[in-house]
Amino acid sequence: MTKQFNDEVNQRKEANGVNAELKKAGSDFIEASTLPKYSYNFSWLGRPIIQYPQDIVAMQELIWSVQPDLIIETGIAHGGSLIFSSSMLELNALCGGPTNALVLGIDIDIRQHNREAIEAHPMAKRIQMIQGSSVDPQIIAQVKNLAAGFKRILVCLDSNHTHDHALAELEAYASLTSIGSYCVVFDTIIEDLPADMFQDRPWGPGNNPKTAVREFLKSHPEFQIDKSIDHKLLISVAPDGYLKRIEY
């Protein structure tokens, strides 16, 4: 992209950040579309991904700019996100990026039919999976042992959405994030939605990934929220959740 185009994009993002009407329109859409399970309508290369398209595009941009050789993801579900990350790593490799890049997925319950579908997918060659709690010390040690052989790491946290669990994941895995890369915490949007949307869930306003991010950042100045991503997307399940590592 040309410098002029980039400058124009940055100007629009800055304008979005102070455009109360536009920001409210995005928030209204998120609130209206949550209960109808809008995010469940999408797939990536044939596997359900359960994300908003805006966040999918944002992750594509991050994977291209960071050029990670390892992506760590907590929460697997149907595997769409693993397939997405693997396909992006494959494209990076075709364009001169890391050739042996890997995505590692961790989930407390990898259902057999999902595992079989993921392992049978053409993008499976870049995927490894670990079954177990992402905050189990043995699982954490296993992940850190594997990560030790990689140089450019991106982390995505998207499993249990309670404050305590999200904070424990941040403490366990955020430190693996490389400088200039990101630790992305999904479903921070829970803090901004009405409490009655989560009556059948253990999380809700006051107890969710955004409250965990706020707590984490108090003692981790090496990370900062990349507000430019929020201003660009406007519609996202991860507001204040795109954490960029700026120092060790």
Range(s) of the domain holding residue 110: 3-245
Name the 3-class secondary structure at 94: helix
Q: How many residues does the chain have?
A: 248
Residues 6+ apart with CB under 8 A from 176: 72, 143, 144, 147, 153, 155
pLDDT of residue 248: 86
> How many domains is the chain partitioned into structurally?
1
Cβ-count burial 40-63 (b if 16+ within 10 Å, e if not): eeeebeebbbbbbebbbebbeebb
The rounded distance, in Å, linking the Cα atoms of 147 and 139 is 12
pLDDT in tens, the chain (248 residues): 689 999 999 999 999 999 999 999 999 999 999 999 999 999 999 999 999 999 999 999 999 999 999 999 999 999 999 999 999 999 999 999 999 999 999 999 999 999 999 999 999 999 999 999 999 999 999 999 999 989 999 999 999 999 999 999 999 999 999 999 999 999 999 999 999 999 999 999 999 999 999 999 999 999 999 999 999 999 999 999 999 999 98
The rounded distance, in Å, linking the Cα atoms of 184 and 174 is 9
pLDDT of residue 1: 63
The rounded distance, in Å, linking the Cα atoms of 164 and 157 is 13
Residues 6+ apart with CB under 8 A from 227: 17, 240
The rounded distance, in Å, linking the Cα atoms of 66 and 226 is 14
| Nearest of 220, 186, 216 to residue 203 by alpha carbon | 186
Tokens representing residue 98 in the block: 């890391």
> Going along 174-245, which residue ranges are E strands?
182-185, 223-225, 242-245
Read off the DSSP letter of residue 135. T
Residues 6+ apart with CB under 8 A from 113: none
Tokens representing residue 41 in the block: 């309508």
The rounded distance, in Å, linking the Cα atoms of 20 and 27 is 10
Cα end-to-end span (Å), the chain: 30
Helix ranges (H only) for the chain are 3-17, 20-34, 53-66, 80-94, 112-119, 137-147, 163-173, 209-218, 227-233
CATH code, domain carrying 21 = 3.40.50.150
